[in-house]
Amino acid sequence: MPRARAKGGICDYADRLIEKLGDLVPASLAKQDAEATHDARVAARRLRAVLDVIGPLVPDRDTRPLRKAARKVRRRLGRVRDLDVMVDQALELSRQRKHAPAAAWLLHRLDLARDAVVRRLRKKRSLRAPLDALPAQWDEVRRKLEGREGELRELVATSVRSQWSNFAERADRLAGHSGASGSDRGVTPDPHELRIAGKELRYTLEMLPSVGLRLAAVAMRTFKRMQSELGQWHDRVVLTDCAIAESIDAELAHHDPALQSHLLALATQTLRDAQSHLKRFARLWQARGRELSEIVPRLSAVEQPRADVIQPQTDHDPAGSEPSSAQEELPPDAQTAA
């Protein structure tokens, strides 16, 4: 018998996440589907965000199995996703004449690495059992949330405001450091921590429609641009690290010094590109950060479906993709290594 499902609300939102995980994880492993890998990791992160929000209402012992399963999906598919993103970037670089030899060499190494990771995941077969158990485990939790819509709404709003404060504080430090010079620069803020804070905030913002709250569309669009710059920064530094690590592992300087030189030039380019994205984030934050800090805490109720209600999309979506309402379709996420 199919599970009874509440109409709308966080419970319905989580129902769809769990169903997605059951479909996407097997597709990721069986078909080596890059989109399925990305979407499965995003669904797992969104589920974790839901569990974080409902924490004050549900005992930890009830949510622990769900957290463990979501964490296992994120970690098991994480390396596959990183490799998918790096392959796409290396393909782009291979079209540039000056980087073509190094990019071709790196692409071959990345393809071998991805095949090896997928083979190991298929042999473990350890994701099927926790995925099969998720619906029943979630049913136990959702029963404790019935009739508590007001509390859930307040928890989501409080979480958004707290996470925004954390993100804004880190962004202020990074933007201020970017604009300083010489001895005034001080300790370099960690861009990775800022990026993670942004992703956590994004997943909580995506819950707003499920509890009847909305954020001005201009605020979401601007925040998405900021998050995109941080994601592009991350993807390029990961590729930079990988290119250098692969050349060391292959002892490339010993066997082909000329190709090693090309690979170092490629890594220098990707690191330079990464820094450019970080500077673009800093400029965007300096221009719009104060405005967002005034808008984001002012969440308002959704009375009618409207065009300016948050419909989180991402800049990477295929041209012409049209999301349905937040109650009907889960919003897509940034197409960087999630």
DSSP 211-248: GTEE--HHHHHHHHHHHHHHHHHHHHHHHHHHHHHHHH
Least confident of 10-14, 108-112, 118-122, 265-269: 118-122
CB 20, CB 53: distance < 8 Å:
no
Mean pLDDT across 133-139: 93
| pLDDT of res. 128 | 80
Query: What values do phi and psi take at 6, rounded to 5?
Result: -70, 150
Report the range of poorest mean pLDDT among 21-25, 257-261, 273-277, 304-308. Answer: 304-308
- pLDDT of 124: 66
Instruction: Tell me what pLDDT residue 45 has.
Output: 96
What is the model's pLDDT at position 120?
Answer: 84
Q: Which pLDDT value is given to residue 125?
A: 63
Most confident among 41-55, 66-80, 318-332 (mean pLDDT) = 41-55
Least confident of 56-70, 93-107, 174-188, 238-252: 174-188
State pLDDT tens for residues 274-292.
999 999 999 999 999 999 9
Query: Does the pLDDT value for residue 109 go beyond 90?
Result: yes
- Over residues 76-91, the mean pLDDT reads 94
What is the CA 166 to chain-centroid distance, rounded?
A: 17
Q: Give the model's pLDDT for residue 110.
A: 96
> What local confidence, expressed as pLDDT, does residue 298 receive?
86
Token digits of residue 222: 């601007």
- Distances from the Cα of 55 to the Cαs of 11, 73, 151, 154, in angstroms? 14, 20, 12, 13
Place of tokens 């999309």: 313
Over the stretch 200-218, which tens digit does the pLDDT of each residue have?
A: 999 999 999 999 999 999 9
Interior CA angle at 27 toward 22 and 29, to 5°?
Answer: 105
Least confident window among 75-84, 138-147, 254-263, 298-307 = 298-307
User: Which carries the bigger pLDDT value, residue 61 or residue 309?
Assistant: 61
Question: Given this model, what pLDDT does residue 316 score?
Answer: 43
Region 232-248: mean pLDDT is: 97
Q: What is the mean pLDDT of residues 67-78?
A: 92
Indicate the SS3 state at residue 301: strand
Mean pLDDT of the chain: 85
Question: In this predicted model, what pLDDT tens digit does every residue of 294-327 receive, in sequence order?
Answer: 999 888 765 443 333 334 444 443 333 333 333 3
Mean pLDDT value across residues 81-102: 96
* pLDDT (average), residues 184-199: 84
**Alpha-carbon span 37 to 43, nearest angstrom:** 10
Q: Which fold has domain 148-303?
A: CHAD domain (1.40.20)
Predicted local distance difference test score (pLDDT) of residue 329: 38
Instruction: Answer whether residue 331 shows pLDDT above 90.
Output: no
Residues near 212 by Cβ (< 8 Å), separated by ≥ 6?
153, 301, 302
List Cα–Cα distances, 256 to 212, 242, 261, in angstroms.
Answer: 61, 18, 9
Mean pLDDT of 13-30: 90
